[in-house]
Structure 1
Amino acid sequence: MNDIPVPVPVSTPVYKKFEENNPEISLCIYEWHNQNECLEFRYVTERRGNEYKQVNLLVITEDDRSHYCIIKDLHKLVYNHSKHKGRKYLCRYCLHVYSSEIRYNEHLPKCKGLNNAPQRLQMPVKNKSIKAFYNYKCMQPNPYRIFWDLEMLT
């Protein structure tokens, strides 16, 4: 850490200082919570692109002790979290999971991550959750109409 005093528990400014001292590294740190079995961000880098060496760390905390583990393959970490047993592709910046590499690669250039534009889920309001089509004037007219006299067949 190049003679940087490291406070315990480690805070975000220490991670940023580490990245400043190591300009070739892109650092993301995740934390695992046992009670709700989910992966959460502790620190997400602002550095994007393949020119950086991507380092993903997992922090396991118990009481006042913490342990850092390197994550070699982030995709394998989420393998058992759904019924889909094929390869999963996890975005390291927003934790969105894709089952297709094509969709994952389409997502990466557009991903803003959690630092710039956090995602938000908005549930519908009760009694206003039914959608209906009312804008009939915007419909395109049918180019053809067919009329059939069914009495002719009998």
Structure 2
Amino acid sequence: MTTWEPARSLEQRKQDVLDRLEKDEDVWVATASPDGEPCLVPLSFVWDRNTLLMCTRRTNPTARNLTPAGEIRLTLGHTRDVVHIEGSAEPVEGRDLATESADAFAAKLGGWDPRNGKSWVYLRVTPRVVKAWREENELPDRELMRAGEWLV
């Protein structure tokens, strides 16, 4: 018999999500090509000004799939502690990225600084929907953000 911890309050779930966005290093990134070919890859990220900032080669499917719609799905955690984010991503050239954002990215990634690399492009993801749950008892209230606004 499986026993679960009591469901977290919505406030606690939101705080747990914000903690993970600050501390986690990698996120699963899902995109699809115009003809529907899925792509799922892990990318390192930094939580920067209420957006996720990632970087990938501009020739990789993840970057190519964002044109023109920019739709993206991100997931943190394992199957028993999920943070699911739906949003839009915009490519940002290194020279156009705010210095403090590029510095924060490089600091979190141990000094790797792609801002001057011609083959790299940053992806700035603005969350529209955030859901978080651990077990079945948290599924009914898993939505914490809708239309870019926190519900709690």
How high is the TM-score relative to the length of structure 2?
A: 0.25
Q: Higher Cα Rg: structure 1 or 2?
A: 1
Q: Say which structure, 1 or 2, has more relative contact order (CA 8 Å, 6+ apart).
A: 2
How high is the TM-score relative to the length of structure 1?
A: 0.24
